[in-house]
Structure 1
Amino acid sequence: MSYIPLDVTKKYLITGAAGFIGSNLAKKLLDMGCTVIGIDNINDYYDTNLKEDRLKLLFPYEKFTFIKVDISEKNSIMDIFKEFSPNIVVNLAAQAGVRYSIENPDVYIHSNIIGFFNILEACRSYPVEHLVYASSSSVYGSNKKVPFEESDVVIHPESLYAATKKSNELMAHTYSHLYKIPATGLRFFTVYGPMGRPDMAYFGFTQKYFAGESIKIFNNGDFDNDLYRDFTYIDDIVEGVQRILSNASTEAVPHRVFNIGNNQPEKLMNFIETLEKCLSRSTGSEVIFKKIFEPIKPGDVPATYASTDLLQEAVGFKPSTSIEEGLQRFTDWYVSYYSLKNNEKN
């Protein structure tokens, strides 16, 4: 498959536009001159100030339109598609988090199942050239074979969150088959970076350090059999998504799934040590986390490891940002951002 460059004359609708990936993707498209319609309900799953600050970076663009709405509100979604007639839709709105889904299952069905169904229905009623949507590496569950390949059997999700993401893939496949909607699912692998999600481990570890608290590491303190994660820097994720947008499948069932991961899994303890070093450089003083080791939590998996061969073959791209480079950018941002916030309060 040959790579087709992004068409800046198209209208792009991004759900979850105040989210980590959504806001970064929107900014990149706007920088390229695209017209972007952003949707988000700005829920309080994590700090809404961070979401508002992401949006503030988008509001100055003349070609950006923002609508505060929940994708589970079907009539509102239909009205937006009717009014704006987007050419390409990127569904990044979802209730995230593996552990949160164990205690709060309702919101996952509400957003990830009903909300995604509404997006599919809107794409059927107001045909689009391409629907790109967020899946997750969590669909691989506790697969022992690594690296994870898109052709692997994924029928044993370890959490409700993973089950909803696999459901999204099945729903998209069915709608593609029935209504010829070109759709692409992207299995993201542990996305991190500046202005990221506070519920992610690297962000939470940093918060706890500045609060003088210990961090919890769910690997039983077993360094020989440590958890592995394929950490993927936000710029690499956005580059991968942007390249996919204009490259819709033309097969009989125009539905595909790609991994977007760094293809270089890191031991969790190595990741934490690198985070300590980066924070030390950002603050100008040595940073060492106080650590508490606990058993792996329900829903967590021992390893994530992405094969990116299909993505590279399709659009000529493979994530390449190193952990050292990506975490340094995150810690530099964190120290600057929260210092500014403290100054504003004082």
Structure 2
Amino acid sequence: MRFLVTGAAGFIGMHVTQSLLSAGHEVVGIDNLNNYHHDMTLKIDRLSTIGNSDNFTFIKCDIANREVMENLFRDHGFQRVIHLAAYAGVRNSLFDPVSYVNSNILGYLNILEGCRYNKVEHLLYASSSSVYGLNDDMPYKIDGDTTHPISFYAVTKKSNELMAHSYSYLYGIPTTGLRFFTVYGPWGRPDMALFKFTKAILSGEKIDVYNYGNMKRDFTYIDDLVTSVMALQDIIPTNRGIDLVTKDVGYLSNRCVPYQIYNIGNSEPVSLISYIHALEKSLGRVADKNMMPIQAGDMLGTHADISLLVKVLGSVSHTSVEVGVSHFVSWYNHYYNNMQ
């Protein structure tokens, strides 16, 4: 099949693209290659890792450019779209909300319009666990309260879900939203905790530990996430609602809309300090910690209810934090040793 993967040079986009190519699909990957989160080297190297497959075409472009996106959809005839491009991160959204609107709202609208006018049979898009905001009813259920986000990033992701629902209802476009829970692993983003902690510890610098290490996160290893995404791209929502016997999947509350949302997580919350201990063990070093209060926009904890995902897929892979962190450290050492 012919896929469009947006954000193909990103952390999750690279891994999803590789998996699609390995399964024999044709992929057009797009990315604007900005340096918002980190320098260009890592993004270029991610693309190089994807390789020069005859089934892969990379196009540098910005999803916020309406004319470019219209031409892209018209010229390539995508059957399915996996939309992963976005301005990510909670704290950055507090300082640069305009960039988040341009990419996460206007850019996403261009994706929806492309699907609308070009008969795309399934749109999967990245949402976030941050949409649960002040909801403290854990584990988070997909039909739980998401009306009180506490970061602007979360606002844009909740907006994506609402926009998808309206397009699914109005135009019959099957959409699947994926609420990712703290994804980590090889080739991860340098602005995320694991990457920053590893770099600092190896350099003998202090690490900032927010909320004194008492926050809990449902850390999700990248390979587990990709396995779920690959399975879900074949499960196209219908307007018949959820039938757990036949595994037909439709809208959450059975309103005859080809729309679905899943939590994609490990469903085993781990404290931040335990996460750091796993990293210290893998590195063979003890971190010099700067214990700090919680930061604006941060959630105290996340915990995914993945019961629907398990019902639909039959089983979901779980990689422990200890194993996942050790895989990241092995990749980090190999990647940066080769750059010296």
The aligned residue for residue 261 of structure 2 is 257
Aligned partner of residue 71 in structure 1, secondary structure:
coil
The aligned residue for residue 20 of structure 1 is 11
**Per-residue deviation at 1:319?**
3.4
**How far apart in 1 are the matches of 2:39 and 2:264?**
26
Does 1:130 find its partner at 2:118? no
Which whole-Å deviations, capped at 9, do the CAs of 1:52-101 have from their partners, x for residues lacking one?
Answer: 11100223211000100010011111111111100000000000010000
* Letter of the structure 2 residue corresponding to residue 28 of structure 1: S
* Letter of the structure 1 residue corresponding to residue 2 of structure 2: K
Which whole-Å deviations, capped at 9, do the CAs of 1:299-343 have from their partners, x for residues lacking one?
Answer: 00000100110111122232311111111100011011111111x
The aligned residue for residue 111 of structure 1 is 103
**How far apart in 2 are the matches of 1:142 and 1:237?**
25
The aligned residue for residue 182 of structure 1 is 174
Q: Which of 37, 59, 75 lines up with 2:51 in the alignment?
A: 59
Contact kept in structure 2, 1:240 and 1:317, CA below 8 Å: no
**How far apart in 1 are the matches of 2:202 and 2:319?**
26
**Per-residue deviation at 1:47?**
2.2
**Per-residue deviation at 1:147?**
0.4
Does 1:312 find its partner at 2:310? yes
Q: Which of 25, 36, 40 lines up with 2:27 in the alignment?
A: 36
The aligned residue for residue 6 of structure 1 is none
**How far apart in 2 are the matches of 1:274 and 1:258?**
28
Aligned partner of residue 330 in structure 1, secondary structure:
helix
**Per-residue deviation at 1:246?**
1.1
Aligned partner of residue 301 in structure 2, secondary structure:
coil
**Per-residue deviation at 1:135?**
0.1
Contact kept in structure 2, 1:133 and 1:186, CA below 8 Å: yes
Aligned partner of residue 57 in structure 1, secondary structure:
helix
Aligned partner of residue 167 in structure 2, secondary structure:
helix
Aligned partner of residue 243 in structure 1, secondary structure:
helix
The aligned residue for residue 299 of structure 1 is 297
**How far apart in 1 are the matches of 2:13 and 2:96?**
23
Does 1:88 find its partner at 2:105? no
**How far apart in 2 are the matches of 1:333 and 1:22?**
18
**How far apart in 2 are the matches of 1:113 and 1:319?**
32
Gaps of 5+ in 2: 240-255
RMSD: 0.9
* Letter of the structure 1 residue corresponding to residue 89 of structure 2: G
**Per-residue deviation at 1:211?**
2.6
**Per-residue deviation at 1:249?**
0.8
Does 1:340 find its partner at 2:332? no
**Per-residue deviation at 1:193?**
0.3
Aligned partner of residue 310 in structure 1, secondary structure:
helix
Aligned partner of residue 169 in structure 2, secondary structure:
helix
* Letter of the structure 2 residue corresponding to residue 242 of structure 1: M
Which whole-Å deviations, capped at 9, do the CAs of 1:169-223 have from their partners, x for residues lacking one?
Answer: 000000000000000000000000011011110110011112321000111x3x6
**How far apart in 1 are the matches of 2:109 and 2:189?**
25
**How far apart in 1 are the matches of 2:262 and 2:93?**
24
* Letter of the structure 2 residue corresponding to residue 248 of structure 1: I
Residue pairs, 1:206-225, within 5 angstroms: 206-219=198-211, 221=212
**How far apart in 2 are the matches of 1:182 and 1:16?**
21
The aligned residue for residue 221 of structure 2 is 233
* Letter of the structure 1 residue corresponding to residue 155 of structure 2: A
* Letter of the structure 2 residue corresponding to residue 29 of structure 1: L
**How far apart in 2 are the matches of 1:190 and 1:332?**
20
Which whole-Å deviations, capped at 9, do the CAs of 1:210-256 have from their partners, x for residues lacking one?
Answer: 2321000111x3x6xx1100000000010011000011111131011
The aligned residue for residue 244 of structure 1 is 232
Q: How many residues align?
A: 323
The aligned residue for residue 326 of structure 2 is 328
TM-score, with structure 1 as normaliser: 0.92
- Structure 1 stretches of at least 4 aligned residues deviating more than 6 Å after TM superposition: none
Aligned partner of residue 127 in structure 1, secondary structure:
coil
* Letter of the structure 1 residue corresponding to residue 234 of structure 2: S
Q: Which of 39, 52, 74 lines up with 1:47 in the alignment?
A: 39
TM-score, with structure 2 as normaliser: 0.94
